[in-house]
Each structure stands twice: as structure tokens, then as C-alpha cells.
Structure 1
Amino acid sequence: MEIFMEVLIIFAVVMVYLCTDCHGLMCYKCENERNNFLCVGEYNLKQCDSGFDTCQTTVSYSEVSEQLSIIKTCTKNSSCHLQIKEHSESVPCDQTGSSWICTTCCNEDACNLNTATSKASFSFVLSYMNIFLYLSIKCII
């Protein structure tokens, strides 16, 4: 009976290890959203296809549209870092120009929760504050 329990425990440990490797990376995904709050809902957390090992967040600003655009997706690590290199981004990303693009890459489940810039993060915080205030007022009334 003792050997059976040891074998069962070893089997369980191996299965847990295999299942955590086979499920694939989970990243937040959204296209051209104007604030981070719209990108990080539970419904936005998606499993990446096989071969994608990196979560990417790209935030861009255009002086023409005067709007932020946030894109979160699954990609390959080499592609993500190539995009950073293409835009000659420094860390932290330079947001002083009239138009800019900031990209971040990460390799853990749900790691692209935050944005690549402080401006988009500020927008995210404002969204949460608005919801909190609305709920607070609704509870008082």
C-alpha cells in the first residue's frame, strides 16, 4: 500500500508539471483600445497559440489623432524585442515627441496587465477611480 501511494504521488506531480507546460502562455489581448482598463477584463485574458512565448503590449500616441492606442497580444520573444529595437526605444520609453510608440515584452501568464507607459497607466487609474466614485455614490443614494 505504501508503494502504491508513492507511485500515485509521483504520478500526480508529473501530471501537474506536464499540464502546466501544455496549457500555453496566457496573455491579455486587445486591439486599439484607448485605455488599459478596456484591455484587462477577465474576458481579455486568452491562451496563446502554440509557438508564442511572449506577451506584448504596445502603446502608441499620435499627435494627429491626439489619442493613445493600446494593443496587447501574444507573440514570439524575438519578434517583440525586434519591434523594441526598430523603434530605438530606451527604457523608460521616450514619450516627449509628438508621436511615439512604446513596447514591452514579458514571458509569464498575465504579465502584460500593465501598460508600457505611464500615460496609459494614468488613464487606467483614472478609469478605476471613476468606477469607484460611481459605485460609492450609488451606495450612498
Structure 2
Amino acid sequence: MHSKMKLFLFAIISANLLLLSKALNCWVCENEGSNSACISNGQLKQCLSNEGACQNEMRRNDGRLQITKRCKQTLACDNNFDQNERAAWFPTQCNIDSPNTHCKCCCNFDLCNKRQLQCLEYVQCPRLAAPDNGWMDCSEENILDSTCQFHCDQGYTLEGSSQTQCVDDHVDDNHGVWTQPAPVCLPHEPLCEHLVLDKGSFHCTNGNRIGSVCYVTCSSGQIYPPNSNNITCGDPLIPPAFQPHPRWSLPPERWNVTRPCCVDQCPPHAHMDACIVLDSTNSVGGSNWEIMKDFAIRMIQ
């Protein structure tokens, strides 16, 4: 008798474990304002043995959206789904284009209710691809109201909008358009060295970008090297429109001539430095002192 009881208990435990191993896993949330909020704030739940369906429920009252996901008994979920086509708001209870609607969808495999209304035809936009050298995050893949954010890897700059949204084109049924085209990720633009000029100034056509021409003005009027009153970023023989594109990851660009300065000569081109020491003791005498000063002044000039 004791052995039969053990065998009976073992059979019950085994059956329960088998049921648990086959239990459905569904997303669960309550009255969230969007499908992405439901996934973020909700949770995965292992359904009871008599709950063979995952249900999605979408309500919209005067445009205010509410999303609820739950485990559901299979027949009950099917009955709820049948109500989608019943007359209520015009033309039916479930009408995704109406500001007032109530739709329910059922499915029967793990995590099948992650999307908003997987059982209905809904507006879809063309699928987007992540930019090369970057990535994207989309709230609802490519369905209506989905928002995609774009990012670039380190060393690359986003060219275009960082965000786009799927909206109804109001032309073809179930077809949507993105509010912005997908951007691209480009390497950081190569720039010439930033110019700083003592006792003068630079006036550039386009900053220190490729093709920019900078004109030199010296307060003293003296520029070295001679005739270097303008310099160009990049190769001056190639028009800016044909300069190599930044996406080729060129090394830093250079100015076409040595950077000028506003003195007679500037390092490393100066031939020598001079230091003049004058003897001003009484032994020199006043007349000789004037001669010495005049000589030193003419040397410097």
C-alpha cells in the first residue's frame, strides 16, 4: 500500500512538472500608453496550465491609447477576438483608424504578444537598416507610430536626422512613410591646423575646412614669408568640389604654404638672435655714448 502511494504521488508530481514545462510564456502589462512602454514596464509571465493563449488588448478613447497584455484561457480569448468585427463604433468595435476603438488579438506561442496587434492588418513603413559604422533603436520595428533613433560609432559623425517616425501616408491602405530619411555615419571631417596670428589676423572663407582660403592682415604691414598674404587648406590646385571626401579617412590636412607671421622673420627661419650690450660707464664719455647708441639703433633697424 505504501509503495502504491509513492507511485501515485510521483505520477502527480511528474504530470505537474510536464504541464509547467509546456506552460505558455506571455508578455503582461496593464493600461500602458504605448506598446514600447508595455514592454519596458511590463514583464514576462508563465501562464497557468489552463491559459493557452497570449492576449493583446488595445483601447483608444478620444485618441488616448491604452495597451494591456495578459495570459488568457484559449476559448475566452477567441471569443474576445470575435468581438472585433461586431458593430459598436463606426463601422466596428475594432477600427484602428478611429479615435475610439477596442481591439483584441490572440496567439498561442511563447512571447507571441510582444507586438501591438499582431493579428490585424496595420500600417507598416519600409524596413530601415542601421547605418554603416553605427546602430539604431526602434520602438515598434516598422509599424505605425514606431520611432527609430540612430547613433554612430566613435570617430564617426551622424549626417542627417537622428530620429524618424513611421506615419500613415493616407494614400494606400496599410502603407506608411518615415518622417525623415535614414542618416549616414561619416568619419570626422579632416581639418587643417587652427590658425592664430600675433600682431595680425586671418580672414577665412570657410574656417579651417578643406578648400578654405585665409587672408592675412598684419598691423605692421610686414608678412613673412614674403608674398604669403593668403594660404589655402588642402591642395590649392584641386578645386574644393573635387577634394577627397572625408569618408576616406585622410590624415589631417595641411595648409599649402608655411604659416605666415607678422614680423621680419620668424622661427625656424631666423638666421640668428642678437644681444647688444652698451657700456654706459663714465669712462665712455658723453659724445662716445651718443655714437654708440646711434650705431646700435641702425643695426636693429
**TM category, shorter:** 0.5 to 0.7
- Distance in 1 (alpha carbons) for counterparts of 2:31 and 2:152: 31
Please state if 1:44 is matched with 2:70: no
Q: Unpaired segments of 5 or more residues in structure 1?
A: 1-14
Aligned residue identity for 2:103: C
1:103-122 correspondence runs (5 A): 103-116=104-117, 118=122, 121-122=143-144
Q: 1: CA distance between counterparts of 2:83 and 2:48?
A: 25
What do the CA deviations read for 1:40-81 (whole angstroms, capped 9, x no partner)?
249611111231110000111111xx2111110000111111
2:69 maps to what in 1?
72
Distance 2:107 2:66 in 1: 19
1:34 partner amino acid:
G
- Higher mean displacement: 39-48 or 70-79: 39-48
What residue number does 2:279 align with?
none
Structure 2, gaps ≥5 residues long: 1-13, 124-139, 158-301
CA distance in 1, matches of 2:61, 2:144: 17
Alignment of 1:93-132 (within 5 A): 93-116=94-117, 118=122, 121-123=143-145, 125-126=146-147, 129=148, 132=149
Q: What is the TM-score normalised by the length of structure 1? A: 0.65
Deviations 1:63-101 (A, max 9, x none): 1xx2111110000111111112234269xx522434111
CA deviation profile, 1:9-38 (whole Å, cap 9, x unmatched):
xxxxxx9xx967523110000101111112
- After superposition, the CA RMSD in angstroms is 3.1
Q: Which amino acid aligns with 1:67?
A: R
Query: Match of 2:220?
Result: none
The residue number in structure 1 matching 2:136 is: none
Quick check: 1:86 aligned with 2:83?
yes
User: Which structure has the bigger radius of gyration?
Assistant: 2
**Alpha-carbon distance in 2 for matches of 1:137, 1:48:** 40
Aligned length: 114
User: Does structure 1 retain, via aligned residues, the 8 Å contact 2:29–2:41?
Assistant: no
Q: In structure 1, give the amino acid aligned to 2:43.
A: N
Question: What is the identity percentage for the equivalent residue pairs of Structure 1 and Structure 2?
Answer: 25
Q: State the TM-score, normalizing by the size of structure 2.
A: 0.33
Match of residue 3 from structure 1:
none
State the distance in 1 between where 2:115 and 2:25 align. Answer: 14
* Alignment CA distance shift 1:32-1:105 (3 Å): same
Distance 1:97 1:22 in 2: 40
- Which residue does the alignment assign to 2:56? 57
Distance 1:30 1:87 in 2: 21
Residues 32 and 66 of structure 2 are in contact (CA less than 8 Å); yes or no, is this contact kept in structure 1? yes
Q: Is 1:30 aligned with 2:52? A: no
Quote the Cα distance in structure 1 between the aligned partners of 2:26 and 2:34: 17
How far apart are the structure 2 equivalents of 1:31 and 1:114? 15
Q: Which residue of 2 aligns with 1:10?
A: none
